[in-house]
Chains A and B, each alone.
Chain A
Amino acid sequence: MKAPLALIVLLLLLLWQGVHMLAGPDALAPPLQTIAYLGAQLPTPEFQAHILATGSAFALAVAIAIAGGLAIGLATGLSQTATEVVEPLLLAGNSIPKIALYPIVLLLFGIGMPAKVAFGAIHGVIPVAIFTMSACRNIAPVLLKSAAVMRLSRLDRIGSILLPAALPEIVTGLRMGFSLTLIGTVLGEMFGAQSGLGYLLMTAIGLQNTQVIMAVTLLLVVFAAGVSTALLAYERRLRSRT
């Protein structure tokens, strides 16, 4: 498992270097230079302010997305009718290009923190809800029957049967929700913000500064891939028990 991960990182770096050599430095800063630049930028207060701005907005957005998604998923997943009513609507919501809604978010919340939090949360809440709902529905009926036979209370049923049984699939939803919320938050910063990594990215795109573009992208990718891989490992461990 370890070896392929290192190998794929190496291959991606080589691909990056290759595209840099083919497309030229105007299109793409080379990997080593980008890493060095990122290393030099990370300790500066300006860069840290951007990270903090994105980080705090993202933390809030992901908390809202997870809480909202779990609430919707659990509330509807426990009822067959509610699931049948809500699931197609959620799937349709998932297929909407959310960027088209961004102007509305900006008009409602104004430029700044609330808008990017809202836009991030909009991206994450639906996948969490969909996976939670499907996790509840996929629980083996025999487990619920056993809970009934053991005369567990409603709360106990949810706490000791439903959540543990549904957890692996819920974690899948959290992983999706996490990734999409991050993308949503950064996208939100690209238009409606004066600070943050998305703002930095958009300014760099305007100035064609590929070094900043690649440095910010690298930082985001490493963070997203790192957390996503950790969640995936946790998910695999949960699933291997069943």
Chain B
Amino acid sequence: MAAPHVSMRGVTRVFPTQKGALHALGPVDLDLRKGEFFAVVGPSGCGKSTLLEMIAGLAPPSAGTVEFEGRAIGSDVPDGVGVVFQENACFPWLNVADNITFGLRRLPVAKDEVARRLDYALGLMGLRDFAAAYPAQLSGGMRQRVCIARTLVTQPRLILLDEPFGALDQQTRLLMGDELLNLWRATGATVLLITHALDEAAMLADRVAVMSSRPGCILEIIETGWSADRDSRIVSDPAFGAVTGKLWGLLRDQSLNALGPAA
């Protein structure tokens, strides 16, 4: 079996608070295969975003190790990793084209190559007519496309998505999901998607990890068994209902825990 693309061993995260240490996450052991689409679902507050930030090098683990391509991740974001956040991360003072090439312009990439990748990303994300527009003129879905395009053009080998469609309406989410699958197939990158939406995880991922309520641990990893050329139409497949049903079966108790004793 090939070496895992991302490997986490005994990863734990403890936050110091005024009332003492808060055990937020772990211990987590997790391997991501190269080129797979992996999703993590869990109740709110289970530390799934923290998990992503530790892989990104944005937050150091309190204990345990995280490796990407066989190298330990320190307190910096490793080369070859792209991150898309839930919040609007567009720079309001830059137009769409400049937003998309923001990270790329900092890499040793020739000018015409920057232009070529920008053009490709604009086309893929349906932003060609908006290259000169400013983020304030765009809808939430369009802004999130800009952020995805910004990650895409740096050609990351690992794409981390932290609730990327959390702020969007349901129809837009489904369509964006299709675009994400296209992008995944086109780039061959490993994708890690953090989400609270079961259907999103079930539709997009090859494997879905279900996390427990705090301290978040991985309860089970479910193989969805979809073919690589899937799209959002699989939501009408009976097997899709079976996958989401299984996920909800695992998550229901955890979500009740997270909601607190009153619920």
Do A and B touch (CB < 8 Å)?
Answer: no
Binding site for B on A (CB under 8 A): none
Binding site for A on B (CB under 8 A): none
